[in-house]
Amino acid sequence: MVKKYNIGLLNGIVCTHNNQRKASIGIKDKKIIKIGKIKPSECSQIIDCQNKHILPGIIDTQVHFREPGLAHKEDIGSGTKSGLLGGITTIFEMPNTSPATINKKEIDRKLRIAKNKSWINYSFFIGACKKNLDKLAKLEKIKGCAGIKIFMGSSTGSLLLSEEKDLEKALKICKRRVALHSEDEQRLKTRFINIDKKKGVSQHEVWRDVESAILSTKRVLKYAKKYNTKAHILHISTKEEIDLLKKTGKNITGEVTPQHLTLHSPNCYRKLGTKSQMNPPIRNRSHQNGLWNGIHNGIVNVIGSDHAPHTIEEKKLNWPNSPSGLPGVQTTLHIMLNHVNKGKITLKKVIELLSYNPAKIYKIKNKGQIKKNFDADITIIDLNKTYIIKNKDMAYKCGWTPFDGMKVKGDVFATLINGKIKMINKKVLGKPDGKMVQFHK
């Protein structure tokens, strides 16, 4: 007897960005084909979702998987497996690899690697630089490209677009969503000279100060408004930037990280040292509260992990020689579910920020919602289960997390990619077979 459904997710709480209801989901040929009442006998395979929440697959639009060139820190295989364990179904990967992803040759190389190694669905940003500035409008249309990424502050060596005329040109010619790392390069250079390096990593936020972020973001807003550009400001770290984004319209969107929402200075630098060093830096509670206000007021549109791993040996270097960046793709959902249980945010809002909005903002086809005929990318969670985040459980190559030892309430039970159960009860199943993300024009 031919079954109606390849997989039935039975008796769960089906959640979207705007409602929740008890229902079952029928999956066939990679798609969601029914939401409602389903009998076990109609399914080739079932997952009992009693007392569990069924979410649209989580989308992480900001990860650094380090391949090619820096694969001792992470690679596409280990990074996507980490994401899978953390309930992530789709990632957008950043261009600051070696060589940098600045042309068709390099994005095609990443696509070939991902086709064989990625556990989850994938797309790659192309980085803007002086060398490719005139070609950005063409490059952003390449299949598998998530959009153009602009680094305005000195995180990434040659992958830098810090001159105002270059920024203006990029924001004028790009038609798709442009993602930006917003820190003022000239101010960072000037301030670094006068920072007391002997005081260590506590000076990181002094060096990369609030004004560095504000100056840069004002510049982005100036040209994005002038040319009606779809600009997306990444890892916002200051309450002042939230205020700047209040009346910018739908074309300008913003993103924050779980790290900035959870850790704060000076505690993080005292307890974690360089394990809390990232760009832009983690700041004090006043700025953290500003970011939360941005979420509650609808100013923040997306949460992204900014997964940026370095080995523990690299992180042990004395600041400022220690590299900036923290791993996070495996813990993002756990951290946010813990905030749900603490009453800081609703599950509906988490879904909006981690599924619905990323798909809407970047025009991803058939993802970000639990909807008939949409891709069966699904994350199943147990909101009541406690979980202790531990270094040893991370699939990262770097082997550590800044949240080691943290007890959270809310755990990831299963991850489905393109209608297949790829992770359940912490066990990864099958082989890597994620697909390239498709976008609406």
Around Cβ 112, how many Cβ atoms within 10 Å? 10
Report pLDDT digits (tens) over 50-98.
999 999 999 999 999 999 999 999 999 999 999 999 999 999 999 999 9
- Return the half-sphere exposure (C-beta side, CA atoms, 13 A cut-off) of residue 233: 28
- Backbone φ and ψ of 298, nearest 5°: 75, 15
- The catalytic residues are 306
Q: Which residues of 316-335 are buried (b: 16+ CB within 10 A; e: fewer)?
A: eeebbebbbbbbbbbbbbbb
pLDDT for position 203? 98
- 5-54+376-388+406-428 falls under which CATH superfamily? Urease, subunit C, domain 1 (2.30.40.10)
pLDDT for position 157? 56
The DSSP symbol for 233 reads E
pLDDT for position 159? 85
Around Cβ 179, how many Cβ atoms within 10 Å? 28
pLDDT for position 155? 52
For the chain, the structural domain boundaries read 5-54+376-388+406-428, 57-361
* Domain range 57-361, its CATH number among 3.30.429.10, 3.20.20.140, 3.40.50.300, 3.30.70.1450: 3.20.20.140
Collapsing DSSP to helix, strand or coil, 185 comes out as helix
Report pLDDT digits (tens) over 131-150.
999 999 999 999 999 999 99
Tokens linked to 415: 């991850």
Q: Are 428 and 84 in contact (CB under 8 A)?
A: yes
pLDDT for position 153? 82
Closest alpha carbon to 396 in 331, 335, 334, 337: 331
Give dist(CA 401, CA 266) in Å, integer.
Answer: 19
- Backbone φ and ψ of 160, nearest 5°: -145, 135
Tokens linked to 202: 């506590």
Residue with the two structure tokens 């009346």: 247
**pTM of the full predicted structure?**
0.97
Tokens linked to 363: 């025009």
Give dist(CA 361, CA 356) in Å, integer.
Answer: 9
pLDDT for position 156? 55
Q: What are the pLDDT tens digits along the chain (441 aa)? A: 679 999 999 999 999 999 999 999 999 999 999 999 999 999 999 999 999 999 999 999 999 999 999 999 999 999 999 999 999 999 999 999 999 999 999 999 999 999 999 999 999 999 999 999 999 999 999 999 999 999 998 655 578 888 999 999 999 999 999 999 999 999 999 999 999 999 999 999 999 999 999 999 999 999 999 999 999 999 999 999 999 999 888 899 999 999 999 999 999 999 999 999 999 999 999 999 999 999 999 999 999 999 999 999 999 999 999 999 999 999 999 999 999 999 999 999 999 999 999 999 999 999 999 999 999 999 999 999 999 999 999 999 999 999 999 999 999 999 999 999 999 999 999 999 999 999 998
Give dist(CA 147, CA 126) in Å, integer.
Answer: 6
Give dist(CA 354, CA 60) in Å, integer.
Answer: 7
